[in-house]
Amino acid sequence: MEAAAHTEAVAGKILTTLAQEYTLGDVLFQSSASIGVTLFKSDGVTVDDLLKQADLAMYRSKATGRNAMHFFDPTMQAVVLERALLERDMRQALHDKQFLLHFQPQFLAASHTISGAEVLVRWLHPVRGMVSPVNFIALAEESGLIVPLGDWVLETACWQLAKWATHDQFSNFSLAVNVSAVQFRQPDFVDKVHSVLHRTGALGQRLKLELTESLLVNNVQEVVEKMVVLQASGVKFSLDDFGTGFSSLAYLKRLPLDQLIIDQSFVRDVLVDPNDAAIARTVVTLGHSLGLNVIAEGVENDGQRDFLAQANCDAFQGYFFSRPLPASEFESFALRSGRKVPQTN
């Protein structure tokens, strides 16, 4: 305890000193520091281990806002180890084809029929069982594995579209595929989409790519150019998570979009929060004024559905209608329900 208290005092002095303003030439500067500390006894821990522990503690200081000091905690190492194991398993999963696609129906408000589905990736781990996307998508983004995973999702979805094209009941269905910012920024992304459409025989008009607002942070012109080339092949675009992050009307005007998506964070409290209700109505009005279709995600009850219908939302998706389903169950659901949306009693 004495060593920890002394270390904390020294670290405090370092942070205070570094925070002092200073000038270089005529420019005024102010610095900050992120400090990581590990305590040890003579218990056989190597110098390399100690440096790794201090490094982990330093990254915790960065993650909590910088200009701070943190001591190493064994749970930090456990988290890093778990992340490394999960990344290793993801690489193996891609090789062993452990990933699956599920399909969540999307319904048109006007005709009360299924127009298609959003494809959602699932991971059936041989030991962990079904792993939630919450537990692996962020890691896939950070590790770069989102690119091969996204490529697999896109190709599998297009094969499904090609299969449905030969079935009268499903030939008009479209599929919405989420595309990460990392994946979209790949130099060969457009070529990959064209290649997949050609190889599978899927119609570009039946493919809808869902882009997130994070894509708009850098080089919007490049984003627009890629979208325009793909739209020439019939591919459609939705802007996901609209209103939750970096959206701007200037971006919205420039992007060749076909659809806006009302994020489920707004839909969830649309009946009890006047602000969420106002945002949902505004997104619908804005989308229609720009000639865009609007779909609401995360619809979980008839009250939300009725509110959105009255706001003239064009389409719905959520557990009120159906959970995401494997392809065969989705097809059975569509046939069994006559492609009709549930109606209010």
Element (H, E) at 210: strand 207-212
> What is the pLDDT at residue 343?
47
Instruction: Name the pLDDT band for 341 (thresholds 50, 70, 90).
Output: very low
**Average pLDDT of the chain to the nearest whole number:** 87
State the average pLDDT over residues 234-254.
Answer: 77
* Integer CA distances (angstroms), 266 to 150, 166, 201, 308, in order: 27, 38, 37, 11
Please determine, for residue 238, whether its predicted confidence score (pLDDT) is greater than 70. yes
Please determine, for residue 236, whether its predicted confidence score (pLDDT) is greater than 70. yes
Bigger pLDDT: 313 vs 57: 313
Pairwise CA distance, residues 304 & 320, whole Å? 9
Q: Which of 38-47, 61-70, 159-168, 280-289 comes out lowest in average pLDDT?
A: 38-47
Please determine, for residue 321, whether its predicted confidence score (pLDDT) is greater than 90. yes
* Integer CA distances (angstroms), 268 to 50, 203, 291, in order: 47, 34, 26
- Under a CB-based contact definition with an 8 Å cutoff, are residues 310 and 277 in contact? no
State the average pLDDT over residues 307-327.
Answer: 96
In this structure, the number of other CB atoms found within 10 A of the CB of residue 11 comes to 19
Instruction: Name the pLDDT band for 44 (thresholds 50, 70, 90).
Output: low
Share of the chain above pLDDT 90, in %: 59
Instruction: Name the pLDDT band for 77 (thresholds 50, 70, 90).
Output: low
Could you tell me the domains of the chain?
Answer: 2-72 (no CATH), 99-336 (3.20.20.450)
> Phi, psi (5° rounding) for residue 326?
-60, 160
> What is the pLDDT at residue 260?
94
Q: What is the pLDDT of residues 78-94, one digit of tens each?
A: 766 777 888 999 999 99
Please determine, for residue 12, whether its predicted confidence score (pLDDT) is greater than 90. no
Q: Give residues with Cβ within 8 angstroms of 249, minimum separation 6.
A: none
Q: What is the pLDDT of residues 163-211, one digit of tens each?
A: 999 999 999 999 999 999 999 999 999 999 999 999 999 999 999 999 9
Bigger pLDDT: 77 vs 263: 263
Q: Which of 29-38, 61-70, 270-279 comes out lowest in average pLDDT?
A: 61-70
State the average pLDDT over residues 328-334.
Answer: 95
State the average pLDDT over residues 133-147.
Answer: 91
Q: Give residues with Cβ within 8 angstroms of 85, minimum separation 6.
A: none
| pTM passes above 0.75 | yes
